[in-house]
Amino acid sequence: MRTEKTEKIRFIACDLDGTLLDPQGNLPEGIFEAIGRLYDKGVLFCPASGRQLTALERMFAPVADKILLLAENGAIVAKDGEILRLDSLPQEDIRRSLEVVNGLPRAHALLCTPDCAYYQSEEQPFLSYVAASYISNAKGNLLSLAKREKVCKIAVYDELGPENNGMKVLPRALPHLRIIQSGGNWLDISEKYTDKGSAVRFIREKFGFSKDACVAFGDHMNDYEMLLECGHPYVTENAYPPLRQMIGKCVPSNAEGGVLQALHCILEDRLP
């Protein structure tokens, strides 16, 4: 058991896929009860995901009035149905990004806006993954949509694997933008300083949370800045090995419900 003196925990940021969700993509049983108990103790829980806002609102509907939502890897922060922060890409950056992605073999772009994710390619398995991961989606001409929609992120499905394809090209071609592998075959393109960490920093400043009063859980590199922004960062045992080495502190794997176990520790006023 940890005995070091720490400030009372007031905020918890938690990644979903690979972290809170089990390997089948399900929330652990008892999570809503734990979130409610945390709220009663003055601790605000924040699902922090690359998923769209609509999906998070639906997933956490039973505790909608007790949480913050961090969507699209930090581009959106919302509470009680109100968007508190929205980072969007300039039109020229979207155009250039689409041009580069279209030049990659077997890579497919998805324009993510606060309300909908737009696709143009109907190739499989891309289309199936869009339907499974983005509740609100529609087909359209991406260049035309970019001229009238606020695009907070371009998600790219890379059939060959980002480390073998997109990550070898996109960072060099788009050096002024943020290119990050977000898990599996997906990578994200966003504003240079849009990430989960900048979103958590915005939350800390808005709600007056000190770094030492914040806990974060993650499993992949798109969680790195968020973990650093909190005084008590943890990764799951199943985390991406380089991230696990950088952060050091672990909770049990997502298959074992490690985050839920950690939340119960916090409810008992102790760190995991």
Domain boundaries in the chain? 11-86+195-267, 91-191
Which residue type, as a one-letter code, is found at position 1?
M
Q: Following CA atoms 238, 240, 245, 251 in sequence, which dihedral angle do they give, to the nearest 10 degrees?
A: -30
Asked whether the whole model's pTM tops 0.85, one would answer yes
Domain 91-191 in the same topology as domain 11-86+195-267: no
Q: Which two tokens stand for residue 268?
A: 């008992």
Please report which residue ranges of the chain form alpha helices under DSSP H: 31-40, 53-59, 91-102, 126-133, 142-146, 166-173, 196-207, 224-229, 241-247, 258-267
pLDDT tens, residue by residue, 199-218: 999 999 999 999 999 999 99
Residue 171's φ and ψ, nearest 5 degrees, are -60, -35
pLDDT of residue 3: 43
Residue 77's φ and ψ, nearest 5 degrees, are -125, 130
Block means of pLDDT (10 residues each) for the chain, 272 residues, are: 67 97 96 98 96 94 98 95 95 96 96 95 94 92 94 95 95 95 87 94 98 96 95 97 96 98 97 94
Tell me how far apart the alpha carbons of residues 229 and 204 are, in angstroms, rounded to a whole number. Answer: 9
**How many CA atoms lie within 13 Å of 74's alpha carbon, on the beta-carbon side?**
27
Residue 125: asked if its preceding bond is cis (omega within 30°), the reply is: yes
CB 101 within 8 A of CB 109: yes
pLDDT of residue 133: 84
DSSP 3-state of 227: helix
Q: Which two tokens stand for residue 74?
A: 């930090």
pLDDT of residue 180: 87
- Whether domain 91-191 has CATH 2.40.220.10: the reply is no
Phi-psi region of 270 (alpha: psi -120 to 50; beta: other; left: phi over 0): beta
CATH code of the region 11-86+195-267: 3.40.50.1000
Closest CA to 255 of 219, 216, 230, 226: 219
